[in-house]
Amino acid sequence: MSTDKGYIKVYRDIRDHWIWNYKPFSPQAAWIDLILLANHEKRTILFNGSVIEVDKGQHMTSISILADRWGWSRGKVKRFIDKLESEHMVNTKRNGNGTLITLIKYGVYQGVRNTNRNSNGTQTERGRNGGGHKQYTKEDTKEDIKKKEGESTFDPDDYVYDFATTDVNDDDW
């Protein structure tokens, strides 16, 4: 089986581990950081004194904030973001408050399906192939849904490694 396809779950808690704060970031780490920073759902936020609506797969920030976060110069961050735009990985919208970064394939990176919540609390899900609708209730567990879809009920969430509470010495590397 090839390991060059598919995706893995990376928990946002990894940002609490000392290794994530190792600076300067590599371009790969900066890209993964943008994915981790992106909203997983639509939210309204207060950013630099303005109320802003940020959709799933977007992150409101500034070049200065990213430069400080990644240990880079502002010019390097701008060149990196410009490169991501030229590669059709992100779209940016700059204004006086900051930069709204949209990850173009956020749904692909997260294995997100197109789901809608109905007013009666059920979730209608349309699979990637555009097939029929399936109805789920709020009470359905992940295991119930997997059984309905004929999927394995193995849940990797049951085997989570907590990076934030594990001590690792520099000698281990």
Higher pLDDT, 131 or 20: 20
**C-beta of residue 86 within 8 angstroms of C-beta of residue 124:** no
- The predicted pLDDT at position 34 comes to 95
**C-beta of residue 15 within 8 angstroms of C-beta of residue 26:** no
**pLDDT-derived band of residue 143, with 50, 70 and 90 as boundaries?**
low
Strand partners, 91: 102
- 17 pLDDT more than 80: yes
Measure Cα distances from 86 to 19, 22, 106, 148 in Å: 30, 27, 17, 42
Phi-psi group of 151: left, alpha or beta (phi > 0 → left; psi -120 to 50 → alpha; rest → beta): beta
Q: How far is the first Cα of the chain from the last one, in angstroms, to the nearest whole number? A: 29
pLDDT digits (tens, 9 = 90+) for 36-58: 999 989 999 999 998 999 999 99
Between CA 99 and CA 120 the distance in angstroms is: 37
Higher pLDDT, 43 or 165: 43
- The predicted pLDDT at position 96 comes to 84
Q: What residue type is assigned to position 123 of the chain? A: Q
Between CA 115 and CA 83 the distance in angstroms is: 31
**pLDDT-derived band of residue 10, with 50, 70 and 90 as boundaries?**
confident
Q: Six-digit token pair at 63?
A: 């070049």
**C-beta of residue 87 within 8 angstroms of C-beta of residue 97:** no
Higher pLDDT, 137 or 159: 137
pLDDT digits (tens, 9 = 90+) for 65-104: 999 999 999 999 999 999 999 999 999 999 888 999 999 9
pLDDT digits (tens, 9 = 90+) for 106-132: 887 777 554 454 554 444 444 443 444
**C-beta of residue 168 within 8 angstroms of C-beta of residue 14:** no
